[in-house]
Amino acid sequence: MNKFLKLLNFELNRFKKIYIVLILLTIVIQITGVIYKTLNYMNDVNDTMRETSINASEYVSQNGTMDFKTILNTSWFFFSVALCAAALVIYLFFIWYREWFGKNTFIYRLLMLPTSRVNIYLSKALTIFLLVLGLIAIQLILLPIENFIFKAIIPTEFRIDLKLVDAIRLSDYLHILIPGSFLTFLIFYGLGFLAVTILFTGILFERSFRLKGIIMGGVYCILSVIVFFAPLLIETFFMPNFLYPIERFFIEIIMGIVVLIGSISMSVYLLKNKVTV
């Protein structure tokens, strides 16, 4: 366990500088977006009221109010989330390939460490997972601050005050990143972790067999998805409405565990027996 934690800490530290930049960019982009959109809204309110000589209640009746959900659905928020997502997807591949293509071929040293190679694999997978959770945590800290800025700029008569939970639930994409229940959180991020292990296995196929490995890795990823969804596909095409929703749910959990164990086992096998340096 101690060696695994050292590997995990090592992997996290390697991404630390880029991660800090991502966090700072998220903070700057989102807070700038909140200030820009709210000030723009208030400028429009003031210009309209001055030009048409109407009061606040008349403006609201004609144009409506603003709520924090509207802010969450702006391109500012979407861009910040998409930027972080893209960076982590790229790093998902880079976390393996840099070991071969860096200034020094670090994979030699990594595979010669006196520890099980499953620890190397799991430390990289858990690093990606923890980086995602860290960004979600930052987002949860930012949202109350941004909501405070929103309320500070827009007077009560021009806004609708939503609870943060409701604003997230009604947003276009944040309700996926920040699920409303712990069970939904486990499902979404469990599927995310499963996807990481499948892609890692595909990468290790390529690293093991090079050109042939690209095809083998692609086939493995496709087969993993088919196996995971096999019960739903069978029910849809051959036995419509055969299962109760709760039965379908537990069967998919079992299939997810099967694919997860299969991906980890195959990856460890490749690391031990097939990966070339």
Longest CA span, the chain:
79
Question: Residue 105's pLDDT is what?
Answer: 64
- CA nearest to 225, candidates 269, 267, 255: 255
pTM for this model (two decimals): 0.87
Question: Residue 103's pLDDT is what?
Answer: 56
Burial class of residue 21 in the structure, from the number of CB atoms within 10 Å of its CB (0-12 exposed, 13-18 middle, 19+ buried): exposed
| b/e map 168-200, b = 16+ CB within 10 Å | bebbeebbebbbeeeeeeebebeeebbbbbbbb
Report d(CA 154, CA 160) in Å as an integer. 10
Report d(CA 65, CA 60) in Å as an integer. 6
Question: Residue 132's pLDDT is what?
Answer: 94
- H/E element holding 53? none
pLDDT along the chain (277 residues), means of 10: 84 91 96 95 90 86 88 93 93 84 67 78 92 94 95 91 90 87 90 94 90 93 94 83 84 94 92 76
- CA nearest to 227, candidates 261, 188, 193, 258: 258
Q: Is the dihedral of CA 163, 167, 168, 170 positive or negative?
A: positive
